[in-house]
Structure 1
């Protein structure tokens, strides 16, 4: 049996998923489901488009070809912090920009209030997951993906940047209207505050 080799493009996976979500969004918007029409609808659409773009740049194309990239998997790990930045690698800045929408959108979707450090932690965990999946794809599919500690740093910085942009005085009041119902930002936009507990005794 010959070597199995094939390639999966992002459009083959992401386009049907986006089409399905767009249909769901349209149906719920017409029925005026809370959080599915008006500004929150735009937030959901922007999140879906960002997620598709994010996966396009980080996971695709998926190439399965064991005849390629025969070097050991541990050669795909770059553990030296800021090596790319020192070497003027433009991908560091691109990774910061890639995660900036993550930090901006996350507080619009989260039920609980997210301080900057929590957004940073979520960006770090998400980035680490991506790096591990990419490394796993190299091990299983030999598709040339690797893990770079600079990506963790850049992606975390991008998440923090997006969160700080959201919290800036120039955008804060404008963007709060796009928060999904039930989120901390939506409650603060309407002036809703949690009911204090009843006194004991």
Structure 2
């Protein structure tokens, strides 16, 4: 008897090559710009691992041979904020996107609240759309949820706030500047005009 009757796509054979490919692209980019250092390579490894982990945990499971049904597909989507949403889910989404608030300023020449919010919203929206596509074409196992979008974005923003606070400590700012990808960026963030 088959242990995988619905053709579930295994996660690791997809996530690991994705992470390796992204890491290779980031290293090539750093090398091309003559900015490759060990701390920046570590940042590239963290970004690649983070992206692979997010993909593995938000898009999968995917089934290539779902159970047959006479019912037409209708998207599993939650568009009402805070309805039927658990605190544990909100905290998980916050925690998962906190690292993004650290990674954005390490990768960009000048990070700002606007860039962090736009990046967090874009990545989260991409995840929710991928979940819808997985539902439609591969019988994916996740619901696209407006609450996930909100809490993911909040996690990225909180992470960036923690990054800004840490960057005000001179020893931490000096350490973080070694992992930044842009040498000409100031180690301390430039205050934004409100």
Question: In which range does the TM-score fall when normalised by the shorter chain?
Answer: 0.7 to 0.9
Q: Which residue of 1 aligns with 2:187?
A: 189
Tell whether the 8 Å contact from 1:43 to 1:178 is kept in structure 2 after alignment.
Answer: yes
Q: TM-score, normalised by structure 2?
A: 0.77
- TM-score using structure 1 length: 0.75
- Name 1:51's counterpart in structure 2: 51
Listed as ranges, the matches of 1:14-93 within 5 Å are 14-19=15-20, 34-67=34-67, 72-74=73-75, 76-85=76-85, 88-93=86-91
**Change in 2 beyond 3 A, CA 1:175/1:187:** same
Question: For residues 26 and 129 of structure 1, what CA distance do their matches in structure 2 show?
Answer: 24
Q: For residues 127 and 68 of structure 2, what CA distance do their matches in structure 1 show?
A: 22
Structure 2 residue runs of 5 or longer lacking an equivalent are 189-194
**Higher radius of gyration, 1 or 2:** 1
Q: For the Cα contact (< 8 Å) 2:62–2:141, is it kept in 1?
A: no
Deviations 1:115-135 (A, max 9, x none): 112211211121111101101
Other-structure match for 1:199: none
How many residues are matched?
179
Aligned-partner Cα distance in 2 for 1:28–1:115: 23
Q: Is the 8 A contact 2:96 2:155 kept in 1?
A: yes
Deviations 1:126-162 (A, max 9, x none): 1111101101211112223221110011000011011
Pairwise CA distance, 1:106: 1.1
List runs of 5+ in structure 1 lacking aligned partners. Answer: 191-201
Q: Is the 8 A contact 1:77 1:146 kept in 2?
A: yes
Aligned to 1:67, what secondary structure does the other structure show?
Answer: coil
